[in-house]
Homo-oligomer: A and B are copies of this chain.
């Protein structure tokens, strides 16, 4: 089969399109013929060796959707050959819903991923594809969607009528997060350092946003919404203490990234006198993924796609991501 294979580290240029052995059901896994795959920042970082446990060569890609091609011998579960499925990319989460097990991995390096014609996966990672979505839209959903759902719902406990602030909007998690939070009946505000990201957020349902390069952004946010119940933060750095001040007493800040690096100083009385929770989250388990799909189905949510390219142009797609030249998910089609 054709596949985008990482044979050495050094950036998107090292991704090679080649003939690669088609995966089989030998390990009790289900073989899926992919209709579409989608990129994540994780893929870019992997090409530079910025993730542990990279095994070369590997087929890249965490996100995908397609049809079931072949079931393993003796399979007696709910999945059927020919069924349209979307892939949950969390492997080996384990039995504790609060946290992933030590050997948890995300699909795509070291386990061969979705930038290919076929992928093999445990049956438990395959879910019926929401009927209103195209393969491209379904492929754009999983990793960002399950991360956003867990951050907002499972960890953030977001309720209808609350106000949530999503920081660093523009990426896949923030975009689908805005759609999820809006569907749940929350009012969404966003921050970014780029006005075009604020525009995109508004088109996805955000009520308003502030550009954090404006030194008065916190005052402007307070004008827009005097109350913030929940912050979902992927920025960290010097922004985080300011987010704690923006949060209402008794509020929650869910952290899932640190694009601005370490927090330079944290004054703890802001946390304990206001009885704030700072809750860490990463990825999501099967319950989170099912919750995401229920919400996507129930509210007709469609992930925002920024670009569609043929699989053969996987390296170009990674370079597009690196240069931020697409807003929205970048999809690859075999």
In the complex, whether A272 has a CB less than 8 A from a CB of chain B is yes
Classify the interface of chain A: helix, strand, loop or mixed.
Answer: loop
Bound-complex Cα distance A268 to B231 (A): 15
Question: Which residues on B sit within 8 Å (CB–CB) of A281?
Answer: 272, 275
A-B contact pairs, 7 of them (CB 8 A): A240-B268, A271-B278, A271-B280, A275-B280, A275-B282, A278-B278, A278-B279
Segment of A53-61, A175-183, A256-264 engaged in the interface with chain B: A256-264
Segment of A96-104, A109-117, A214-222 engaged in the interface with chain B: A96-104
In the complex, which residues 234-252 of chain A have their Cβ closer than 8 Å to any Cβ of chain B? 236, 240, 249-250
Task: Pick the contact of A98: B100, B240, B275, B280 (CB < 8 A).
Answer: B275
Contacting pair A274 B236 (CB below 8 A):
no
Question: Which residues on B sit within 8 Å (CB–CB) of A255?
Answer: 268, 271-272
A contacts, CB < 8 Å to B: 96, 98-100, 102, 155, 236, 240, 249-250, 255-258, 262-269, 271-282
Question: Which residues on B sit within 8 Å (CB–CB) of A258?
Answer: 267-269, 272
Question: Which residues on B sit within 8 Å (CB–CB) of A279?
Answer: 275-278
User: A268-B262, A271-B255 known; A96 and B250 CB under 8 Å?
Assistant: yes
Point out which of A98, A264, A266, A274 has the most chain B C-beta atoms below 10 A from its C-beta. A266
Q: How many monomers of this chain does the complex have?
A: 2
Contacting pair B268 A265 (CB below 8 A):
no
User: A255-B268, A266-B263, A269-B258 known; A274 and B99 CB under 8 Å?
Assistant: yes
Residue of B nearest to A265 (CB): B262
Task: Pick the contact of A280: B96, B256, B272, B280 (CB < 8 A).
Answer: B272
Bound-complex Cα distance A94 to B302 (A): 42
Bound-complex Cα distance A96 to B99 (A): 29
Measured CB to CB, the closest approach of chain B to A283, in angstroms, equals: 9
Question: Which residues on B sit within 8 Å (CB–CB) of A274?
Answer: 99, 280
Residue of B nearest to A98 (CB): B250
Question: Which residues on B sit within 8 Å (CB–CB) of A98?
Answer: 250, 275
Residue of B nearest to A272 (CB): B280
Bound-complex Cα distance A99 to B267 (A): 19
Bound-complex Cα distance A102 to B206 (A): 30
Question: Which residues on B sit within 8 Å (CB–CB) of A100?
Answer: 249, 275
Point out which of A262, A267, A268, A278 has the most chain B C-beta atoms below 10 A from its C-beta. A268
Question: Which residues on B sit within 8 Å (CB–CB) of A280?
Answer: 268, 271-277
Bound-complex Cα distance A269 to B263 (A): 11
Question: Which residues on B sit within 8 Å (CB–CB) of A256?
Answer: 272
Bound-complex Cα distance A249 to B279 (A): 12
Question: Which residues on B sit within 8 Å (CB–CB) of A277?
Answer: 277-280
Contacting pair A263 B268 (CB below 8 A):
yes
Contacting pair B273 A282 (CB below 8 A):
yes
Bound-complex Cα distance A205 to B98 (A): 29
